Amino acid sequence: MTERQQETEAPPLLETRDLTVEFPNPAGGWTPVVQQVSFTVGQGESVALVGESGSGKTVTSLAVMGLTGVMGGRVAGGSVHFDGRELTALPEREWRGLRGPGMGMIFQQPIRSLNPAFTVGDQIAESVRRHLGFNRKAARARAIEMLDLVQIPRAAERVDDYPHAFSGGMCQRVMIAMVMACNPRLLIADEPTTALDVTVQERILQLLRELQEQTGVSLLFVSHDLAVVAELCQKVIVMYAGEVAEQGTAADIFLRPRHPYTSGLLAAIPKPGLRSDRRLESIPGSIPAPGSWPAGCRFHDRCPHREPGRCDSRHPDLTPAGPANEARCLRTSEIELQGVTVA
Amino acid sequence: MKNVTTPLDDPVDAPGEPYEEPAQAGIVRGILRRKSTIVAGGFLALLVLGAVLAPLIAPYDPNVQNVLQRLRPPSADHLLGTDDYGRDVLSRLIYSARVSLQASAQAVAVALVIGLPPGVAAGYRGGWLDTVLTRIMDTLMSAPSLVLAITIVAVLGPGITNAMLAIGVIMAPRFFRVARATTMDVRHETYIEASIALGCGNLRTAVRHILPNVMPPIVLVISVSLGAAVAAEASLSFLGLGVRAPASSWGSMLSTASSNMGLAPYLVWPPGVMIFLTVLAFTYLGDGVRKGMTRSRSARGKGE
Amino acid sequence: MAGPTVQAEARAGPTPKPPEASPNPPGNPLRNSSKGHSMLRHAGKRLLAAIPLLLVVPLLVFLLIDLAPGDPAVVLAGEDPTPDRIAAIRGELGLSDPVVERYLRWVGAVLHGDLGQSLMSDQSVTDMIVRRMGTTMSLVLFAMVMAVVLGTLMAILASLRPGGVVDRLVNWLASVAIAIPAFWFGLVLASLFAVTFQVFPAFGFVPLSEGLWPWMSHLVLPGIALGLLPAAEVTLQLRSALGQELKSDYILNAQAKGLSRSAVLFKHALKNACVPVVTVLGFRVAEVLAGSVTIEIIYNMPGLGSLAVDSVLSRDIPVLLGFVLFSTSVVVVVNLLVDISYGYFNPKVRA
């Protein structure tokens, strides 16, 4: 515990402040998809970004990578501070130099994220050659070394295989190898295990944990699955409808949630013996689309604790709640919320 | 892309106007929605009108030769000049529209007759019939097309009817494929199975129930094929394998232009521009038909 | 103004079939060693599948001659035939024998490299074709190379800014260019640049052996005329394929890796986008070959096209059969090359 406290006292590796991202809407204007999101990721820390699909967590991580423009969106406000530099105003050329050795990202669909037309070795080697200036031979050796590191058997042979010769889990390992090859400071993992089998999921998480121990890389772990997050992260940021609903240490979030949405997410964690496909059974309705966020608290119409006339009229701020948490709820001090019961 | 912009990244499918009309009317309205389609359709309508009314419009008899007026550039008397026999180019252009349009209609009719019934039969019956017919059509399709046309003309002898027969044969596989695919699509729809179960004969079922489904995509193929046939007729007639003198088509007029290029370069333009515009109009029309169809189909799909 | 997009597939028949990816057991240890073999086997299989086409198209010609109304010998002898001429044709083509026997005899001779003799000039058909082959192949090759280069450039230029002015202009130009008949474009080019301005030689052909420039200069105008349509089609196909690829997950990943814009576009997107383009090109070779007939006539080039037209007008069946066989072979070979290239562009097919 003392170690971690020291880390958080050092300047954070990544800090976003009031980050707002917008995408074009059919009417020709811009709709905010992520609004005023602030959080930090310390050196070597694991932070989870949690929420349902459509909560804006992927867009937030793409904004950190500077890739919102690629998707057609734009960063409309706020700042992204990384390793002592302000990134939002960075020219595209410098951005590119940062992606790779600074931060890397792995995605939800590992098979589709690898280019089918090139060997995995080629795809790992190309970023090493570009960012670390390795020659062809050294880059190839590095690719084999990385494949070995992510525990792909017979790495020296498989380096010349094309992605279609790998299973989903193996492709995700290749992706991790590709990203880690440039020794990044920050690894962003966007739902890296969602598309994989449960048994494979476990092994990928184990691999991420080991890699973090070996290299000290910071991890921003984007997921809808709090059960997975519990195994991996020290800090949790819960997002809802484009904004942070609650954030705090993992222990606090899990044991003493301060926002009804977090509580609902926790209740939805599949328990042994129950089928896991009935996600969010405790929260009725679905997340509102960007552009149609309700007035007042954005969660009020799904919230079991809403107070008519109050929750639907005033938009709550993120306020301290409990020892280390912050929650965006007007009634956070008035209600008793259920956390995870430790057996 | 994942959950990035769930509601935003698909503006095309944004809630459109609801369609409550029957399918055909929806298609027609969808087609007329596009300005380029209307322009293309209007041009083609004028062309047909001009061809039909050729004797009234044409300033001269297209076949009257005037040796004293050979290869005259455009003037007030002859708006587009005269050709190597002193014939009025404008008049020949108008009369040629008749030949070109009629020929392309012939070719498409041939393709329709050869392609559509076997296509419906193959899609409806399946089995060995489907295998055999598909194999034949595939071979026809992968054979080099104009080479095949030239061969057919060679054997049957030059002439516009034979040339159009050849082009029709070459275009038939398109009709076959579309008819077969659509038939297979609707073959197992409940109402068709019901119609069979009620004891309607195969022919009756095909005509009453399948044909209405096959026709919309076929209309699209017809429209595109008409353009292709105009171009194909032009090249065969240019080579002297199509229309025979004294009749002329835009292709044969270009042949005249080709042999008099040094003395009368202006002859190259009128027939070429007409072929180009006609082909372009047919493609835009086909494009409009296709877009109108997908539009009304997706609208209907949503309503259900 | 949005250009029509339908014609790319609808214009000339064959709908491009994307290569079928066969499922591959992941991580088969024997796969590496058999890579070359499976490639050859794949090519061999396609070649075998193409042989029926080579046999069937000439058979069609034989059947057509037989089924045509009237006595074929009289019909083939043309207008005002003399009895001698009719008899000669009957003997030459063996018309008194059954059609199947004639066909099999022809196939047998072809297998020995003998395409028979011209009815008109008593020359060997093989000689006639070999002598004129260079012209036609030069022209077709020039047109195809131009189509690929120009089409690729335009498509890349257009996809730099999707939906931008350049994109819309290129799309519009290409869809208009598709409606221009090649032979008319050839006439216009000839009349402008060879007759009026005399920048290029108007007519004839000079073999490559007499120098690169003389060869090139005779090919520029006809090559452009012939290459316009495939260039437009490559543009439209590649533009739409690039648009698809640029939206793919691996392009996002390539950007997340910090690759340069050009590496993302030229390396990652282009290679995958080539598959549909190559497919279209394969099919268009037949069309370009056909187009070369009219272009050769316009530019007075001594190629196979003029040979074919002459043989049709004079009903010289052996020459025509030779031309048919040659064209079909070219189409077959090109489709084979296209098939093999799938293995390069899309490694999945190779397995």
Apex B115 CA angle, B110 and B119, nearest 5: 160
Tens of pLDDT, residue by residue over C236-251, are 999 999 999 988 999 9
Tens of pLDDT, residue by residue over A205-247, are 999 999 999 999 999 999 988 888 888 899 999 999 999 999 9
CA distance C3 to C175: 6
Residues C176 and C103 in one domain: no
Q: What is the DSSP letter of A118?
A: S
CA distance B277 to A24: 38
The position carrying tokens 């992204």 is A80
Within 8 A of C24 by CB-CB distance, chain A residues are 164-165
Average pLDDT, chain B: 81
Helix (H) or strand (E) holding A326: strand A325-327
The token duo for A227 is: 């059960």
Residues C297 and C149 in one domain: yes
pLDDT band, residue C10 (cuts 50/70/90)? very low
**Are A24 and B14 in contact (CB < 8 Å)?**
no
In a domain, A243, yes or no: no
Helix (H, G, I), strand (E, B) or coil at B58: coil
The position carrying tokens 């009815």 is C119
Residues facing residue A236 across a β-bridge: A48, A248
The token duo for A63 is: 């904004």
CATH assignment of the domain containing A85:
3.40.50.300
Prediction ipTM score? 0.88
**Are B224 and C10 in contact (CB < 8 Å)?**
yes
Name the domain boundary from C111, C144, C159. Answer: C111
Q: Which residue has the higher pLDDT, B195 or B137?
A: B137
CA distance B44 to A273: 70
Report pLDDT for A341: 65
Residues A215 and A299 in one domain: no
- A62 contacts chain B (CB < 8 A): yes
Please enumerate in sequence order all residues whose Cβ is within 8 A of that of A89, keeping only pairs 6 or more positions apart, or say none. Answer: none
For A191-216, what is the mean pLDDT?
91
CA distances from B168 to A164, C8, C16 (A): 44, 20, 21
**How many contacts, defined by CB atoms under 8 Å, are there between B and C?**
170
Q: Which residue has the higher pLDDT, C101 or B7?
A: C101
φ, ψ for residue C316 (rounded to 5)?
-90, 85
Please enumerate in sequence order all residues whose Cβ is within 8 A of that of C136, keeping only pairs 6 or more positions apart, or say none. Answer: C289, C292, C296, C303, C304, C305
Closest to B3 (Cβ–Cβ): which among A25, A54, A72? A54
Residues A147 and A199 in one domain: yes
Helix (H, G, I), strand (E, B) or coil at A31: strand
Tens of pLDDT, residue by residue over A23-65, are 998 888 999 999 999 999 999 999 999 998 889 999 999 999 9
Edge-to-edge, what's the strand order for the sheet holding A46-50? A103-106, A186-190, A218-223, A46-50, A235-240, A243-249, A325-327, A319-321
CATH architecture designation of domain B29-70+77-297 = Orthogonal Bundle (1.10)
Within 8 A of A131 by CB-CB distance, chain C residues are 258
Helix locations, B4-126, DSSP H: 23-32, 35-52, 54-57, 89-125
In a domain, C46, yes or no: yes
In a domain, C128, yes or no: no
The upper half-sphere exposure of residue A284, i.e. CA atoms within 13 Å in the direction of its Cβ, equals 6
Residues C100 and C181 in one domain: no
The position carrying tokens 């799938």 is C342
C345 has pLDDT over 90 = no
Helix locations, chain C, DSSP H: 7-10, 35-67, 72-76, 83-93, 99-111, 125-160, 165-177, 182-189, 212-246, 249-256, 261-262, 270-298, 304-313, 317-345, 347-350
Say what percent of chain C tops pLDDT 90. Answer: 34
Instruction: Yes or no: say if C255 and A70 are a contact pair by the CB < 8 Å rule.
Output: yes
CA distance A95 to A252: 35
Q: Which of C328, C282, C334, C287 is nearest to C110 (CA)?
A: C328
Instruction: Yes or no: say if A234 and A250 are a contact pair by the CB < 8 Å rule.
Output: yes
pTM (2 decimals)?
A: 0.82
Tens of pLDDT, residue by residue over B34-70, are 788 889 999 999 999 999 998 988 888 888 888 877 7
Residues A19 and A162 in one domain: yes
Within 8 A of A195 by CB-CB distance, chain B residues are none
For B104-130, what is the mean pLDDT?
92
C104 has pLDDT over 50 = yes
Cα-to-chain-centroid distance, residue C4: 23
B164 has pLDDT over 60 = yes
C33 has pLDDT over 80 = no
The token duo for C272 is: 């995958």
For C336-347, what is the mean pLDDT?
83
Residues A224 and A260 in one domain: no
Report pLDDT for C3: 40
The position carrying tokens 């954030």 is A247
Q: Which residue has the higher pLDDT, A139 or C335?
A: A139
Report pLDDT for C311: 87
Range of the domain at C228: 135-313
Name the domain count of chain C.
2
Residues A229 and A261 in one domain: no
Instruction: Yes or no: say if B123 and B180 are a contact pair by the CB < 8 Å rule.
Output: yes
**End-to-end alpha-carbon separation of chain A, Å?**
23
The position carrying tokens 């390795």 is A134
B180 has pLDDT over 50 = yes
Q: C182-189 vs B250-259: helix axis angle to the nearest 10?
A: 30
Name the domain count of chain A.
2
Residues A16 and A114 in one domain: yes
Say what percent of chain A tops pLDDT 70. Answer: 93
Cis peptide before C98, with omega less than 30 degrees from 0? Answer: no
Residues A55 and A183 in one domain: yes
Instruction: Yes or no: say if A164 and C347 are a contact pair by the CB < 8 Å rule.
Output: yes
The token duo for C183 is: 């032979």
Lowest mean pLDDT among A238-252, B154-168, C169-183: B154-168
Residues C212 and C261 in one domain: yes
Report pLDDT for A342: 55
In a domain, C337, yes or no: no
**Are C179 and B155 in contact (CB < 8 Å)?**
no
CA distance B119 to B50: 35
Q: Which of C322, C315, C318, C319 is nearest to C77 (CA)?
A: C315
Helix (H) or strand (E) holding A248: strand A243-249
The CA distance from B198 to the nearest CA of chain C, in Å, is: 37
Range of the domain at A81: 10-233
**Are C253 and A175 in contact (CB < 8 Å)?**
yes
Determine how many CB atoms are found less than 10 A away from the CB of residue C190: 25
Within 8 A of A158 by CB-CB distance, chain C residues are 27
Q: Which residue has the higher pLDDT, B11 or C194?
A: C194
A340 has pLDDT over 80 = no
In a domain, A339, yes or no: no
Rg of chain A on CA atoms, in Å: 20
In a domain, A335, yes or no: no
Residues C95 and C233 in one domain: no
The CA distance from A35 to the nearest CA of chain C, in Å, is: 23
Residues A210 and A119 in one domain: yes
- A314 contacts chain C (CB < 8 A): no
Please enumerate in sequence order all residues whose Cβ is within 8 A of that of C75, keeping only pairs 6 or more positions apart, or say none. Answer: B155, B157, C68, C69, C315
Residues A175 and A215 in one domain: yes
Edge-to-edge, what's the strand order for the sheet holding A30-41? A30-41, A14-24, A74-82, A85-86
Residues A107 and A21 in one domain: yes
Which residue ranges make up each domain of chain B? 29-70+77-297
Within 8 A of A105 by CB-CB distance, chain C residues are 253, 256
pLDDT band, residue A9 (cuts 50/70/90)? low
Residues A173 and A318 in one domain: no
Residues C213 and C256 in one domain: yes
Tens of pLDDT, residue by residue over B223-259, are 889 999 999 999 999 998 888 878 889 999 999 988 8
Lowest mean pLDDT among B110-119, C27-36, C48-57, C284-293: C27-36
Residues C183 and C48 in one domain: no
Burial class (CB in 10 A: 0-12, 13-18, 19+), C78: middle
Instruction: Yes or no: say if C281 and C333 are a contact pair by the CB < 8 Å rule.
Output: no
Closest to B8 (Cβ–Cβ): which among A53, A191, A290? A290
Tens of pLDDT, residue by residue over A83-105, are 989 998 889 889 899 999 999 99
The token duo for A139 is: 């880059």
Residues A82 and A40 in one domain: yes
pLDDT band, residue A321 (cuts 50/70/90)? confident
Closest to B155 (Cβ–Cβ): which among C11, C68, C184? C68
Please enumerate in sequence order all residues whose Cβ is within 8 A of that of B253, keeping only pairs 6 or more positions apart, or say none. Answer: B83, B89, B92, B93, B96, B267, B270, B271
Instruction: Yes or no: say if A169 and A154 are a contact pair by the CB < 8 Å rule.
Output: no
Closest to A116 (Cβ–Cβ): which among C31, C267, C348? C348
B21 has pLDDT over 70 = no
Name the domain boundary from C68, C95, C111. Answer: C111
